[in-house]
Amino acid sequence: MNVLGIETSCDETAAAVVRDGTYLLSNVIASQVDIHSRYGGVVPEVASRQHLLAAIPIIQQAMSGASAGWGDVDAIAVTIGPGLAGSLLVGVNVAKAIALARGLPFIGVNHLEAHIYANWLEGEQPQFPVVCLTVSGGHTDLMLMKGHGEYHTLGRTRDDAAGEAFDKVARILGLGYPGGPAIEQAALGGDGSLHPLPRAWLKGTDDFSFSGLKTAVLHLVQENEGIAAADVAASFQESVVDVLVAKTVDAATRLQARQVLLCGGVASNQALRHAMTERSPLPVHVPSPLLCTDNAAMTASCGYFRIQAGESSGWDLDVEPNLRLA
């Protein structure tokens, strides 16, 4: 079964064709980062207008990249949330229009669930039960997944998401937008041991907290004029990685999971990937960086497994900007 995935939840217009939920036939992503970077963050109205311009050409590229005609597509999967309402609306309406014109079934997909399914697109298939850490711009969720579509939330951030903390600290350090890759790059040339930063362990829970760390960075920078941004970036990244890895490994061993899965934009961070792999006694599955950040291949994969479970959407499908998972 070939599924066309469409993803427009934030600032990437993406389309992909995936066979049987696991085999990538094409994966096309148009980033709007250059347009939003001059504002220091995503401007929602600008994002939806860009999606309108990019959606059809990107879908056409995904189809030709997969050497697929419409007769080769069996279903459409589209992100319905969480995300920016205006951006999501573009994807959902394009998906419905194609579904109507071509007589195809379609399914609305939760973007957070889709991030998890990036783990089904490469390498060996994950073995349940897994403990999955989703770290993106808006979420830091630790979940136990016992089977397809079976989620139990263990913990989540009580304030800033991990990606949000990267973005805010990058701004404090004047490293630009998006913050995650900028901090990772700066940290390569820094010494994280020069300015130790705190870790919020929230012992006895699987929850996270990053706003205190962000405030500690702010004070450190304000009180030490001329401090090297690279050293602060390295120390900040060490603190975030330490907490994410320790709490994920603790939960996975405690719950006797078979594997640890990582996903979401922050999972493209090499320091996090290395530390998780080094410190986990269980096998760690993490998608390649291009499948960690927003893409439509994960949407197509997730949609495939929902369709396999007997689900589909109707014409009343709508966007759900605040959608949650479990």
Nearest in space to 43 (alpha carbons), one of 84, 6, 72, 14:
84
C-alpha Rg value of the chain to the nearest Å: 20
Determine the Cα–Cα distance for residues 209 and 280; give it in Å rounded to an integer: 21
Could you say whether residue 294 binds ligand KG4 (CB under 6 A)? yes
Instruction: Give the binding range for ligand KG4 (CB under 6 A) out of 120-128, 144-152, 228-236, 261-269.
Output: 261-269
Instruction: Give the binding range for Zn ion (CB under 5 A) out of 100-108, 152-160, 178-186, 294-302.
Output: 294-302
Sheet holding 23-31, edge to edge: 23-31, 12-19, 2-7, 75-81, 106-110
Binding mask 192-231 for Zn ion (x = CB under 5 A): ----------------------------------------
Binding mask 22-41 for Zn ion (x = CB under 5 A): --------------------
Helix (H, G, I), strand (E, B) or coil at 7: strand
In the bound state with ligand KG4, the residue whose beta carbon lies nearer, of 76 and 165, is 165
**Beta-carbon contacts of residue 28 (< 8 Å; ≥ 6 apart):** 14, 15, 16, 58, 61, 62, 65, 296
Residue of 26, 27, 50, 136 that binds ligand KG4 (CB under 6 A): 136
Classify burial at 295, counting beta carbons within 10 Å of its beta carbon; exposed 0-12, middle 13-18, buried 19 or more. buried
What does 280 bind: ligand KG4, Zn ion, none (CB cut-off 5 to 8 Å by kind)?
A: none
User: What length is written for the chain?
Assistant: 326
Residue pair 192/235 in contact by the 8 Å Cβ criterion: yes
Could you say whether residue 264 binds ligand KG4 (CB under 6 A)? yes
Residue of 48, 209, 269, 299 that binds ligand KG4 (CB under 6 A): 269
In the bound state with ligand KG4, the residue whose beta carbon lies nearer, of 21 and 137, is 137
Determine the Cα–Cα distance for residues 71 and 229; give it in Å rounded to an integer: 54
Residue of 26, 32, 136, 259 that binds Zn ion (CB under 5 A): 136
Residue owning tokens 């989540």: 156
Could you say whether residue 179 binds ligand KG4 (CB under 6 A)? yes
Which residues of the chain form contacts with ligand KG4 (CB under 6 A)? 10, 136-138, 163-164, 166-167, 178-181, 184, 264-266, 268-269, 293-294
